[in-house]
Amino acid sequence: MLRECLAIRTKATPDDWTRYDATGLLGGSLLGQGQYGEAEPMVVRGYRGMKERESQITVPDRYRLRESAMRVIRLYEAWDKPKDATEWKARLGIPDLPTEVFARP
């Protein structure tokens, strides 16, 4: 369904932020399936496309940009690429906390 959604948005609104949201969502689906190589260009392109069109995003939908950014970080963490995850966290202003912070006593 996401591939179909992306195809429709690409044809109907090729330069709209929602096209890039759909791109990132499809990448997120591939991420969830463990298809990291296929997911990477989609989640990165989705975030960058949305970021470039941030002014077009209505206030109630701005949370989607943050979700898109987090998708990129989750990709690199799941793919065991901590250097890339750390670089994206720095780029996005998200602190890279040590895993001990989340450890249970």
Structural domain count, the chain: 1
Q: Which residues of the chain have pLDDT under 50?
A: 101-102
Strands (DSSP E) found in the chain: none
Residue 16's pLDDT is what?
96
Res 57: pLDDT? 97
CA distance 54 to 59: 10
Q: Using a pLDDT cut of 70, give the percent of the chain over it.
A: 91
The pTM for the full model equals 0.86
**Cα(44)–Cα(57) distance, integer angstroms:** 18
Supply the range of the domain harboring residue 54.
2-102
